Amino acid sequence: MPDESLGEVVSRLSASAHALAAIGQALDARLSGTPPVPGVAPYLDEVLARLGVAELVEQASPLERLTLLGEIRTFTLSNARMLFAGSEGSGWTHREPELLEAAGDVSAGVPHRIRSALAPRLTGLAERLEAPGAGFLDIGVGVARMSMEMARLWPGLRIVGIEPLPQAVTLAREKVRAEGLEGRIELREGRGENLTDEERFDLAWVPSLFIPEGVVPTVLVRVHAALRPGGWVLVPSVRPGTDPLATALARLRVASFGGLNRTPGHVEGLLKEAGYAEVSTLPGSPAATGAMVVGRRA
């Protein structure tokens, strides 16, 4: 606010950051089954009560707890990088296992959204994913959390995950092996712009928020060739929400990720240029700073 000093603004926002960490601590305690130490527990309970979220934390499903904790951890750990000029890199180049794991946990909810909200809206996609030999392409597979969840939801699905960071690929292979999914999930260390598959997949995920702007058009062309006729691509995008600060923060995050920091309309144009049909931005909450842009190979 204009009548606040800089110190007062920092103090107010520090309290918000600490409150977010407290929610994360509560989620972690319930997921891990390890309660906070006795000296901390009553104070944590008081914070949750004053925030009005104690009941919500208790009622949350394991998947919701996992994805929300992953979001809190991802942004908390990646935000720390912004505080020291020497640690500021170009794009998403994080190698810390804790951060890679947290980012993977955030993506665990995406397959459930695909099944419940996206596939029913996209012509033929639900039937394709259920069909024998169905294929899913996961660009930027990370630690393979999203790919493994896709494999669980669609038992016949064959998946290829591509990831440029060797540290993430190593973690992904360990996880896939531990789940016994090596026969269904193929992991490649590489980049989406070097994809050479043709007519192999029914659905592709292209996380443009992590892909440099100059590379995205090539990735979309390669993915188009890799899709079977009638297959769909999903491209998340940043969009202006009703809260200007939330929008500004979303754009700052994407800039720190080194990804495509453009509106859904711009992404639609890129998809059309790459040859996709039925290009559109799916409806969402007016307050949301993210949107899903889709396209289909004719």
Give yes or no: residues 157 and 237 share one domain: yes
Tens digit of each residue's pLDDT (9 = 90 or more) over 155-173: 999 999 999 999 999 999 9
Question: How many other CB atoms sit within 10 Å of the CB of residue 185?
Answer: 25
92 is a domain residue: no
Tokens of 243: 């809260």
pLDDT in tens, 14-58: 999 999 999 999 999 999 999 999 899 999 999 999 999 999 999
Instruction: Provide the domain count of the chain.
Output: 2
The answer to whether residue 249 is domain-embedded is yes
263 and 207 in a common domain: yes
Same domain, 153 and 56: no
What confidence score (pLDDT) does residue 84 get? 77
Q: Both 175 and 37 in a single domain?
A: no
The residue among 97 and 193 whose pLDDT is bigger is 193
Same domain? For 39 and 110 the reply is: no
Q: Are 247 and 189 in a shared domain?
A: yes
Among 9, 42, 60, identify where a domain stops. 60
SS3 assignment for the chain: CCCCCHHHHHHHHHHHHHHHHHHHHHHHHHHHCCCCCCCCHHHHHHHHHHHCCHHHHHHCCHHHHHHHHHHHHHHHHHHHHCCCHHHCCCCCCCCCHHHHHHHHHHHCCHHHHHHHHHHHHCCCHHHHHHCCCCEEEEECCCCCHHHHHHHHHCCCCEEEEEECCHHHHHHHHHHHHHCCCCCCEEEEECCHHHCCCCCCEEEEECCHHHCCCCCHHHHHHHHHHHEEEEEEEEEEEECCCCCHHHHHHHHHHHHHHCCCCCCHHHHHHHHHHCCCEEEEECCCCCCCCEEEEEEECC
Range of the domain at 40: 1-60
Whether 192 is covered by a domain: the verdict is yes
pLDDT above 90 for 204: yes
Mean pLDDT, rounded, for 189-208: 97
Q: Are residues 287 and 159 in the same domain?
A: yes
Q: What is the percent of the chain with per-residue pLDDT over 90, rounded to a whole number?
A: 87
- 51 located within any domain: yes
The stretch 205-228 carries a mean pLDDT of: 97
Same domain, 168 and 240: yes
Q: What is the mean pLDDT of residues 253-265?
A: 92
Domain membership of residue 78 (yes or no) is no
Is 95 within a domain? no
pLDDT for residue 88: 54
Q: Are residues 106 and 50 in the same domain?
A: no
153 part of a folded domain: yes
Indicate which CATH number applies to the domain containing 131.
3.40.50.150
Whether 87 shows a pLDDT value over 60: the answer reads: no
Q: Looking at the structure, tell me whether residues 187 and 281 fall in a common domain.
A: yes
**What distance in Å separates the CA atoms of residue 48 and residue 124, rounded to the nearest whole number?**
44
Query: Taking the CB of residue 68, how many other CB atoms lie within 10 A of it?
Result: 19
Considering the entire predicted model, what is its pTM?
Answer: 0.91
- Let me know whether 39 and 177 are in one domain: no
Is 203 among the domain residues?
A: yes
Lowest mean pLDDT among 2-16, 114-128, 264-278: 2-16
Question: Using only C-alpha atoms, what is the Rg of the chain?
Answer: 20
163 shares a domain with 19: no
